[in-house]
Chain A
Amino acid sequence: MAFGAIFVPNFTVQAVLRSEPELGVRPLALIDGPPPTYRVVALNHLAALLGVTVGMTKAAATQFPGVEIRPIAKVQEVAAHSALLDVAWSFSPRVENTAPDTVLADLSGLTTLLGSYENIATIVVSKCSEVGLTVQVAVSANVETARVVARALPGATVIPQGHEAKYLETLPITMLSLSQELSEVFERWGVKTCKALASLPVISLSECVGQEGVRLHAIASGKGMRSLVISELAHSFEESLELDDAVEELEPLSFLLGRLLDQLCVRFVARSLAIRAIHLQFELEPAFEDAFDSASEFVRTRQLPGAYACTLELPVPSRDSKLLLKLVRLRLQSTLPKAPIQKIHLTAEPAHTRVMQGGLFVPEVPDPEKLELTIARIANVVGENNVGSPQLQDSHRPDSFRMQRFSVSPTPSPALETKSETKIAFRAYRPPVLAKIKLRGARPIHADFLGRSGDVINASGPWRTSGDWWEDDPWQQDAWDLELAFPYETPPAQGLYRICFDSRQKKWFVQGAYD
């Protein structure tokens, strides 16, 4: 049995650098606390070299030139921790969520898949770097030993069974996560290393400091063993970014969204899942606009909504960050919020990756991801509601259909049907065109519409239909099929049209033409 511990050193700073890697080349200090007494709680090595220390006030830290001072970002810490868990779950289903910066995993059985434990540890380090985290990994038969060594030693460490005490002996006892009280006690006793703690008599130790001391003694000896507290597999994938300077334009926003989508997609790849839908939420800066109040006939200033949300659903689950960014951009092009954006929050719904089996004799169909992009681009041109596939509704109302989302499903090629007669088609006028009809008795003899004047050559009708009388908008019409001649046009023309008399509006309309 073997356990792996993954520890993220300087977790608070790494969480920020994961979202903003460009800060890594500058001295960075993170502050926290109630205003105005902000204090430095974390910093990177460049800031430490300049002389910034943990606990320093914000005012003192600003004295150092070139230091980037940022508040800590809890949302980014949550996202970084989720990414760490995703990497652990990609290796083992038994994962313990020990601390925000530490996870433990059961690595039993992985050697048959990935080789030696050294190889496994190296792969874990590599996978964590793909999600933007630099980690320290330790593998041991003893879970507590692995946890402690991962906190202390950089890189990947594999502890041979039976040698746990040897790896622990030189480590300071602060690596054992002592309480403040115990830490002071051990300091008074002069116990500074795990070896010193392990050499203390157990019975005396328990009498002085209680069972906690016994537990620490076992850990320091490399004998402390416990079971993992398995955490549930998370199904939420969220990434957030708080901006110091609010963003208004689409281009810089796209850059930030691209970064968040890259991080999301890497996490999905680690979990062998794909994205089914993306929920975008923006927190906006307070903004106002002038609006004309028709009731009072004055121009009033009203506040714009402080939040923006939209959902992008994919017909086929995908984890291509470039494709997702293009789709999000196309969506935002037409619906960009009017106020500057302060905070971005992305949530992705997971789905299993699609498995497609192509056929030898199936005709070529558009690639689903490319098709989605094409449809999104066309929707930007004609409007989202004007592109899709028509679905007829179960109604006798004329022109009764709705537009539904278009998707492709590969199906085997059926046998072609032979037709004995080709049916005539109809071209609808939407909306129906108002017409002036002259009647002789009850029959149309002349029609004027769209600036044209036609004589009726042949007529078929009236065909009376009505429906939905139990609804709020019933319909009732008398329809005619007319063959019209337009003798006064150059050249003279003829055509077959359908007109109807709307009995409710008491008007004639041209519904369309046969073609």
Chain B
Amino acid sequence: MRLTSAALRLQVESALAGRVASPFRLREPEPTPTAPVGIPALDESTGGLPRGSLTEIYGPVSAGKTSILLSALAGRTTNAEVCALVDAQDAFDPSRAQSAGVSLQRLLWIRCRGLDQAFRSTDLLLHGGGFGLIAMDLSDVPARLVRQIPLNVWFRLRRAVESTPTILLVLSQESNAKTCASLVLRLENESTAWSLQCRRSASRIVHTPSCLLDGWTTAAEIVRSRMQRASSSPHHERTGAIAACEDSKDRVRFALGSASIPLSARHSQSQAAPARVIPFSELEKERMQNPG
């Protein structure tokens, strides 16, 4: 048997000589290049946004999707990369973006009116090439309309971004890209922080004079990740190979603080507590202790 397999190996190698070098050598898969989002807790958990792949971030309003988008844009534009934002419902706020650190001169903003314009523009950008990050913001498009987009459209986008250094980021209310996305994050607003809340009552109506919106805490769940991740999470060890972590239940929590006070008032409160990665088991314990 040993002789037969050796002879067979020799035969295959000689047949492929000149076309394939070392056909039986096991190749280590190359790690997917990533770029940091700019939120340390999220970067530590996900490894960053993968280049040459589709990343989907979904969640309800005020979950933190746009904040993550601005953080990613700030990181890429600060790194002198050209970025593009396909804004399906023309919701982008340039002044907030600039205060978040986005270099507006390196941002191509496409103000669409509807899904058709958004997808066509994204397709043109991907085929044009040269962008560090292309974001398609579908957050304000009714979910029932986005659900009608066939899967082959998402597949086409994924194929277009493959083998390029571009990050394709999609924001929406629900997950639609399915297996076409290499990284899927679900966001949820856990709690909102208001300053000068000196009254606690059973009533949901709390009006506090001189109260300011401090920010909120977002819980991000990694629904899907096809990348190598660091071994900081106790649930995943470094294996040296790509781990297809489908239906992963990693959750990470981070704080989003208020920017300059929206209007003329000055904000003198201290900064929010630094974000940390909370293992899932601890989150469950916390919930059992403090229900609701």
Contact = CB atoms under 8 A, between A and B. Distances in A.
A389 B92 CA distance: 12
A415 to B, nearest CB: 9
Contact of B121 (A371, A381, A422): A381
Contacts of A496: 61-62, 192, 213, 216
30 contacts: A362-B80, A364-B81, A365-B130, A371-B130, A373-B128, A374-B125, A386-B110, A386-B111, A387-B108, A390-B104, A391-B104, A392-B95, A392-B98, A401-B94, A421-B271, A422-B38, A422-B257, A424-B216, A425-B97, A427-B140, A428-B92, A428-B93, A457-B206, A460-B212, A465-B264, A483-B213, A485-B204, A494-B189, A512-B91, A513-B61
For the complex of A and B, list the 5 residue pairs with the smallest distance between their C-beta atoms, beginning with the closest. Answer: A366-B130, A374-B128, A463-B263, A390-B94, A425-B66
A430 B206 CA distance: 29
A406 interface: yes
B109 A387 contact: yes
B265 A463 contact: yes
A425 B216 contact: no
A388 interface: yes
Given A367-B130, A388-B108, A515 B262 contact: no
B174 to A, nearest CB: 13
B26 interface: no
A346 to B, nearest CB: 26
A498 B96 CA distance: 14
Interface in A352-401: 362-367, 370-371, 373-375, 377-378, 381-382, 386-392, 399-401
B127 to A, nearest CB: 8
A443 interface: yes
Contacts of A460: 194, 211-213
Contacts of B61: 427, 493, 495-496, 513, 515
Contacts of A443: 207
B67 A422 contact: yes
Contacts of B75: 416
Contact of A416 (B79, B109, B165): B79
Contacts of A406: 108
B80 to A, nearest CB: 5
B262 A479 contact: yes
B192 A366 contact: no
A431 B189 CA distance: 26
B13 interface: no
Contacts of B274: 420
Interface in A71-100: none
A382 to B, nearest CB: 5
Contacts of B205: 440, 445, 455-457
A13 to B, nearest CB: 44
Given A366-B131, A430-B90, 14 more contacts: A363-B132, A382-B111, A386-B112, A387-B109, A390-B97, A403-B109, A416-B78, A423-B70, A424-B259, A427-B91, A460-B212, A479-B263, A512-B91, A515-B64
A288 interface: no
B4 interface: no
B67 A424 contact: yes
A463 B258 contact: no
A390 B265 CA distance: 26
A261 B260 CA distance: 52
A115 interface: no
A459 interface: yes
Contacts of A515: 61-67, 139
Interface string A408-429: 1111111011011111111111
A164 interface: no
Contacts of A399: 93, 95
